Amino acid sequence: MELRSVEELMDLLYACRGVPESPGGPAHGVDLHDHALQTAALLRRSRPADKELQLTGLVHPIGRLLRPADPTGRAERTAKAVRPLLGPRVAHLLRLHPWRGTDDDLARLHQADEDGRSPGVDAGVLEDWRTVLELIAARNSRLGAVD
C-alpha cells in the first residue's frame, strides 16, 4: 500500500484511535493515536525546525494498521507506504527506527517514541498536523518531479 494523499494518511492516523499502543493491550495506557501525537509533539519541542523528523514520529505507528496480523517487516511497510507522500528522508528514518541507531535523528526519534506513552498528556489534535503534512507532501511532490 502506498499513501498518495494527505487525506489518506490522515484517515489512517485517525484509525489509530482506540488501537492499543502495545499489542497485548493498553500496557502504557495510550492508544496509537495518542502515542503518535505525543511522539510528534516531543520531536517538535526538541527539533522545532525539523518538520520531517516530527512527521516521522507522527506516522511511525501506522505500520500496525497496514497489516495487523503480521508484525514482521512493519518498519519497511510503513516506510514504503509514506515514501511517495513524505519523501525519502522520512522513509529512511522509519526503516531504521526499530534498530535504535546512535545517529542524532534516530536517537531523538527513539527517545521520543519511548517518552510518548503517557496517559492524559495533551499533545494537541491530529488536525494541527495537517498543514505540516501538506507542506512536506507538496515539497516532496515538487522534488520528485525534478528527480
Query: Is 39 within a domain?
Result: yes
Beta bridge partners of residue 31, listed in sequence order: 20
Which pLDDT value is given to residue 2?
87
Query: Is 45 within a domain?
Result: yes
Q: What is the CATH number of the domain that holds 26?
A: 1.10.3210.10
Which pLDDT value is given to residue 89?
95
Domain that holds residue 79: 6-146
Q: What is the pTM of this model?
A: 0.89
Query: Is 73 within a domain?
Result: yes
Q: Please list the rounded mean pLDDT of every run of 10 residues in the chain (147 residues).
A: 92 92 63 95 97 96 85 87 95 82 85 90 94 95 63
Which pLDDT value is given to residue 29?
75
Which pLDDT value is given to residue 73?
82
Query: Is 135 within a domain?
Result: yes
Which pLDDT value is given to residue 146?
46
**Unique residue bearing C-alpha cell 499513501:** 3
Which pLDDT value is given to residue 98?
67
**Number of domains observed in the structure of the chain:** 1
Which pLDDT value is given to residue 101?
58
Query: Is 1 within a domain?
Result: no
Query: Is 43 within a domain?
Result: yes
Is-contact 32 19, C-beta < 8 A? yes
